[in-house]
Each structure stands twice: as C-alpha cells, then as structure tokens.
Amino acid sequence: NLLINNSSSINEFDEWINKKEKQLYKGNSSNTNKENMEEERNNYDEIMKFTQNNLNNSQNIEQINQENEFNEEVNKTLDDEEDW
C-alpha cells in the first residue's frame, strides 16, 4: 500500500513539475521565475530522493519480515522435531 501511495504521488508531482516547466519555457519568464523554477526543481529532486529512500526502506522492511517469518517456521520445525 505504501508503495502504491508513493508511486501515485510521484506521478502527480511529475505532472505538476512538467506543467511548471512548460509555463517557465513559454519565453515570457523573468530571471526570478527561472530562479524559482530552479529552486522548485531542487526541492523536487530532494522529494524524489526522500521518496526513493522510503520505497527502499519499505522493500527492506518487507524482506526482513519475510526472513523473520521463515526463521520462525524453521525454529518451530526444529522445536517440533525435538519434541518428537
């Protein structure tokens, strides 16, 4: 669910930044607009890094959870064999 939410917000943010870039390059923008656009791009890049880290962390957590489940099953099996 977390992956899906992040993915849709990335797409929305991509659309927003593309729209801003189109506005910027219409040819009637001042230096201030270009500076603002550069700042927005940097903010966007930071958000993308943060989002990618969240995705990576989510995947790592999922992998750890799967490994823990597997280890619990192995331990249970070993315990059952000892009881037998």
Domain boundaries, the chain: 2-83
Kindly report the pTM of this predicted structure. Answer: 0.48
28-68 confidence digits (pLDDT tens): 555 577 778 888 888 888 888 888 888 888 889 989 999 99
> What confidence tier does 1 reach under pLDDT thresholds 50, 70, 90?
very low
CB 51 within 8 A of CB 10: yes
Closest to 49 in 3D by CA, of 37, 41, 61, 39:
41
Long-range contacts of residues 6-9, Cβ cutoff 8 Å, at least 24 apart: 6/51, 6/54, 6/55, 6/58, 9/51
